[in-house]
């Protein structure tokens, strides 16, 4: 049975979430969701949990459909009052949920582990030297995209160097696997 027909069977043509009030306060969290192979997936209850946290019904339905069809999905939930509470709630519904956001890592530690000066680090990895200095001095913080790059440099510096070395000459191969 598809997710759509399950939602229709339980709620009818108009979905109304009235049994529990929506959370009043919380911060946005990006999550990766994976279907637990050892558990029954309860998409309707999981959709309700996301809707209570201010995810629009249509978006919750799309996330549950993707999770049901592919086994994994990614979502930004607008108001999460307690990440641990949401994760445990989703776990009970057959979903492994993890925060999908790069943890903080010290740019200085990454740079020093590669035995590079700030100027060398910036040049090698396509960054502005002033930006690297500001990060290390605490004048600014890397955003999520930059933090993802820093983690990639930490784990696979050769991949970043290789990507930059190809410059504008690389073409996207239509046969290459899609990122998920």
116 and 80 co-located in one domain: no
Domain final residue, candidates 99, 120, 141: 99
CA distances from 31 to 6, 50, 74, 76, 116 (A): 23, 11, 6, 6, 34
The answer to whether residue 113 sits within a structural domain is yes
Task: List the pLDDT tens digit at each of the 180 positions of the chain.
Answer: 566 666 666 656 554 545 678 888 999 999 999 999 888 888 999 999 999 999 999 999 999 999 999 999 999 999 999 999 999 999 999 999 999 988 889 999 999 999 999 999 999 999 999 999 999 999 999 998 999 999 999 999 999 999 998 765 556 565 555 554
The answer to whether residue 87 sits within a structural domain is yes
Nearest alpha-carbon partner for 94 in 146, 23, 44: 44
135 and 68 co-located in one domain: no
CA distances from 118 to 109, 123, 132, 148 (A): 11, 9, 7, 18
Domain final residue, candidates 49, 78, 99: 99
What mean pLDDT value characterizes the chain? 87
CATH number of residue 147's parent domain: 1.10.260.40
Please give the tally of structural domains in the chain.
Answer: 2
Distance CA(106)–CA(93), nearest Å, equals 36
7 and 93 co-located in one domain: yes
pLDDT at 38: 87
71 and 128 co-located in one domain: no
12 and 79 co-located in one domain: yes
61 and 79 co-located in one domain: yes
92 and 126 co-located in one domain: no
The boundaries of the domain holding residue 73 are 3-99
The answer to whether residue 180 sits within a structural domain is no
């Amino acid at each position: 049975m598809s997710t759509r027909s399950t939602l229709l069977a339980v709620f009818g043509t108009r979905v109304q979430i009235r049994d529990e009030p929506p959370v009043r306060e919380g911060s946005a969290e990006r999550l990766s969701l994976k279907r637990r192979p050892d558990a029954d997936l309860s998409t309707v209850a999981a959709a309700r949990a996301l809707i209570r946290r201010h995810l629009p019904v249509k978006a919750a339905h799309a996330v549950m459909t993707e999770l049901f069809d592919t086994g994994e999905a990614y979502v930004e939930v607008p108001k999460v009052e307690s990440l641990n509470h949401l994760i445990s709630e989703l776990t009970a519904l057959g979903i492994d949920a993890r925060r999908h956001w790069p943890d903080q890592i010290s740019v200085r530690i990454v740079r020093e582990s590669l035995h590079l000066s700030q100027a060398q680090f910036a040049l090698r990895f396509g960054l502005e030297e002033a930006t690297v200095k500001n990060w290390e001095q605490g004048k600014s913080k890397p955003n999520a995209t930059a933090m993802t790059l820093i983690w990639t440099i930490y784990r696979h510096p050769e991949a970043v160097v290789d990507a930059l070395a190809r410059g504008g000459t690389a073409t996207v191969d239509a046969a290459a696997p899609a990122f998920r």
